[in-house]
Amino acid sequence: DQQVKQNSPSLSVQEGRISILNCDYTNSMFDYFLWYKKYPAEGPTFLISISSIKDKNEDGRFTVFLNKSAKHLSLHIVPSQPGDSAVYFCAASARPTQGAQKLVFGQGTRLTINP
Amino acid sequence: NAGVTQTPKFQVLKTGQSMTLQCAQDMNHNSMYWYRQDPGMGLRLIYYSASEGTTDKGEVPNGYNVSRLNKREFSLRLESAAPSQTSVYFCATLQGSYNSPLHFGNGTRLTVT
């Protein structure tokens, strides 16, 4: 049962335009959401996060939007640059009752920025 | 400052062989994790360790064992490798216990023939 889903395996966007990556989740206990970026042969690197008490978080060209009622989050990249070409993973976690936080990841979306 | 270091970077095993994937961190983080990445599946949690001396199963623990040797090191062992364990393995750390991002190593690419 995939609790975090990224339904678009790939996305192609023109340089300078907006890239919008989408993610849906099913577990209503999730209250912390993150986006990671991954280049080939490297580990995922943290990009931006949002807590469930917010509906928007912005960091430079990157903005994450959270719609709790729809259980949907999106990542907007404006303007898109060639260096943004990578695989993007969304992830979510719920407050742990014991132990440490565990992130659940989506399948990833490969973003290609075309010059 | 190396962050999270994984060794080896690449490994080829025959079915039934054993090996240990090593992970070391220099960030003084309490929690450590092992994930595997497979095409179309995203990253799935194998095992994690909330603190030195504790380990817990994740989503896909079968066929693996872990050892939290000390605060810095968290190893993943395959006792009898199977082709289904062909994957890219990532180690990660977490500074606090909640509402913080994980920091990942660069991965170990394992092929089991």
pLDDT in tens, B55-91: 999 999 999 999 998 999 999 999 999 999 999 999 9
- Split at pLDDT 50, 70, 90, the class of B1 is low
CB spacing of A101 vs B30 below 8 angstroms: no
Asked whether residue A65 carries a pLDDT value surpassing 80, the answer given is: yes
Q: Are A78 and A59 in contact (CB under 8 A)?
A: no
- The whole-number average pLDDT for the span A30-47 is 96
pLDDT in tens, B21-59: 999 999 999 999 999 999 888 999 999 999 998 999 999
Task: Find the CB nearest B99 among A46, A51, A99.
Answer: A51
DSSP string across B71-99: SSBEEEEESS--GGG-EEEEEEEESSSSS
Terminal alpha carbon distance of chain A: 38
pLDDT at A100: 82
* CB interface of B with A, residues 10-69, below 8 Å: 30-31, 33, 35, 40-45, 48, 50-51, 54, 56, 58-59
- Write out chain A residues lying below 8 Å of B103, CB-based: 46
Indicate the average pLDDT of chain A: 95
B12 to chain A, minimum CA–CA distance in Å? 16
B99 to chain A, minimum CA–CA distance in Å? 6
Residue A84 dihedral angles phi and psi, to the nearest 5°: -80, -10
- Write out chain B residues lying below 8 Å of A36, CB-based: 101, 104
pLDDT in tens, A79-108: 999 999 999 999 999 988 777 889 999 999
